[in-house]
Structure 1
Amino acid sequence: MNDLLFIVFTGIGATLAMDLWCILRKPLLGLPRPNYGMVGRWIAYMTRGKFRHDSIAASAPVRGEHMIGWVTHYLTGMTFAALLVGIWGTAWIQSPTVGPALAVGIGTVAAPFLLMQPGMGAGIAASRTPKPGSARLQSLITHAVFGLGLYASALVATRALSI
C-alpha cells in the first residue's frame, strides 16, 4: 500500500511542479499557460469515437471539458510516476535519484509529441503550429521540470511515508 501512496503522492507533486512552471512561464517568457480544457475536449470526443481533430479549438465545446482535462492531466502524472517505479523498481522508492526521474520526465514528452498534438490537430511534435521549434523546446523544458518534480516529490514522499 505504501508503494501506491508513494506513486500517487509523487505523481501529484510532479504535476504540481509542472503547473507551477507553467504559471511562471507567463511573466518570465510571455508564454500562455496550457489550456487543459482542450485536453478535456479531446478526451470527451474519444468517448464518441473521434480521436483526431483538424483543430481541437474549432471542435464544439463539451460540457465539463475543463474538469475532464485537469483530471486527465493529474491522472497522467500519476501514471508516469507509476512508470518510473515500474522501470526502476521499488529500490528507487527507498532511495530516489535524479537520473531516472529526469529520464522518465523527459521521455514523457513522447506523449504530447506523438499522441496529443497530432490528435488535437497540431501535428506530430507540433509540426502544424506557427512556431514548431519553440513549441518543441517548451514541451521538452516542461517535461524536464516534471522529471525534476518526480525526484523532489519522491524525496518528500519517502520521508513522509516512512519508506
Structure 2
Amino acid sequence: MADDDGGRPVVRPVTPADWALWREARIASLTASPEAFKARLADWERGGEEQWRARFDDPATYGVLAVRGARPVGLAAGLPAADGLPELRSVWVAPEARGQGLAGGLIGAVESWARGTGARTLRLSVLTANARAVALYERLGYATDGRAGQELIMTKRL
C-alpha cells in the first residue's frame, strides 16, 4: 500500500476490486497523453462498471498500477495475443510522476508476469511518432521486430 502522505509511488498488481482505480488511470492516460495511444478517450470514457470490470475478468490478463497515496500515477498491462505471445500494453506514467523510474518498474512487473506464464519473449507495439517511448523501450532491451502501419513492433527476450 502507498504511504498516507503520498510519498514515493508504489507499483502493485491490479485486482478485480481495483477496477475504479484502473479506470481513473486509463482515462488520465488518454486525456494527458492522447498522442501516445491508438485507443481514444471516447472508446473508454463512457464505459460503465461492467466494461471496466470485464478488463480483468480474464485470468490470462495482468495489470499493474503505480499509486501515490490513493491516486494512480501510472499503469501497464500484459495480455496474451491471438498467437499466444504475451504483449505489453497501455504503459503510462503521469507527467508529475515521471523521472522516478516508474515506467521501468511497471514494465518490469509485466515482464515478470510474462516469465511466470512460461513466455520467453514479450512483444509490444508503439506508435513510431512516440520517440520518447521508443527510446525507453530500447533502453530496457526491446528491439524493433517489424512495423505495422504507424507502429513499430518491438520484442524482448525474457
TM-score (norm 1): 0.28
Greater helix content: 1
Q: Specify the structure having the higher radius of gyration (Cα).
A: 1
Greater relative contact order, per chain length (Cα 8 Å cut-off, separation 6+): 1
